[in-house]
Chains A and B, each alone.
Chain A
Amino acid sequence: MKKAYYIMAVFLLLLGIGLVILPDREHYDEASPRELLSDLRNPSRFISTDKVAEMIIDQDPTLLLVDVRDMYDFLDYSLPGAHGIPLEEILMYKWVDSLSYDRSKIVLFSNSDILADQAWILLKRENHNNIHIMKGGLNCWFETIIQPSPPAETAANEEIDLYQFRKGASIYFLGGAAPVEQETGSQTVIVKRKNKTKVVEGGC
């Protein structure tokens, strides 16, 4: 028998022994259940619609909006600049580069929180960082940003400021012009004539 066969046999045996000795690394690149639970409890995984609106208006370069609804819904309506990555495709290799860019703040959204939450868990298990969920999804976006309801007259200043911001954001996203309060009716100009003062007569 050729010497090469013996060498190959020994090589195969060594590889086989290696497989027995090597520790199990089957799930080495996934987040542990403990880490996942800790992240799940952390409220900072949610981001408000106001904050998202602010970042879009400021054209924040670190923001990466990801619409996890299906493509039909995405093409129908989505947030400006959002990427459409359906939930079923979120772990596909073609999106790895987009989603693993460390300096991005990835904000996932769907109609409500449900799909975005599922996508968040999938990505977190794959150890992606800086992933957030837009709280309330697009339903909340419509309620707060597109059609904000005015606060009560007795509301605190912060609430009124927030409403003003939302009104401004609504105009920004709907592409309209800021409403200008129209002056109603013509005003009559009352000219007040000054009484002529008498010139001082006489002199020195």
Chain B
Amino acid sequence: MTGPLIPMGIIGQGWDLVIALLIGMAFGYVLESAGFSSSRKLAGVFYGYDFTVLRVFFTAAITAMVGLLYFGYMGWIDLSMIYVNPTFLIAAIVGGLIMGLGFIAGGYCPGTSMCGVAIGKIDAMVFTGGMFVGILIFSEAFPLIQGIYESHSLGAVKVNEVLGLSTGTFALLLIIVALLAFIITRIVENKVKKVEY
């Protein structure tokens, strides 16, 4: 058993921010290369003319999922040591709605807006400014919304555990859903009028 590298003590804890910075830079580079610094391309997923975002992130998710599960099976990583974000149901739904609304209105998500800023996009700069204002409002108003924020805590649950499925079965189902999504989005893209940007 060798991974995860930092919790197992192979890499010292002091390195985690340095590694995060390097991975962040690589992630930003890939986002920019894939054209994700364009708000029109990102917003295309809501209007049906460009589903690249969905395809890229779904591919990344299932690749990481399959990779981790096989690494766990081979004994290269201890999956029980991987951090799982705890679920706060109401907060996740409310946060998802706000995030979605911001995504449609602004054309960016937090990571891609930084990519836009890095290449000098003015809309991305405005979006990022708005994001920081949002963070400030959230922080200042936190005592008021703390009840919603912490309600319906489900702990670190996984979807397959909630559905009562084995990890492998859930992984296969998710792969099938992803492949179907890729096919359907391609059909939708072909039917919707092309947008030049």
Contacts and interface: CB of A to CB of B under 8 A. Distances in A.
B139 to A, nearest CB: 34
B75 A93 contact: no
Chain B interface, DSSP helix/strand/loop, else mixed: helix
Report the interface size class on chain B.
Answer: 20 to 34
A22 B66 contact: no
Of A1, A19, A22, most buried by chain B (CB within 10 Å of CB) is: A19
Interface stretch (B27-35, B97-105, B141-149, B166-174): B166-174
B86 to A, nearest CB: 22
Interface in A87-117: 89, 92-94
A79 B75 CA distance: 36
Interface string B43-82: 0000000000000000000100010011011010001000
Interface in B136-179: 166-169, 171-172, 174-176, 178-179
Contacts, number: 58
Given A9-B179, A12-B179, A20 B168 contact: yes
Interface of A: 1, 5, 9, 12-13, 15-22, 24-26, 28-29, 89, 92-94
24 contacts: A9-B179, A12-B66, A13-B175, A15-B66, A16-B171, A16-B172, A16-B174, A16-B175, A17-B172, A19-B69, A19-B70, A19-B167, A20-B166, A20-B172, A21-B168, A22-B73, A24-B166, A26-B72, A28-B75, A29-B1, A89-B9, A92-B9, A93-B8, A93-B9
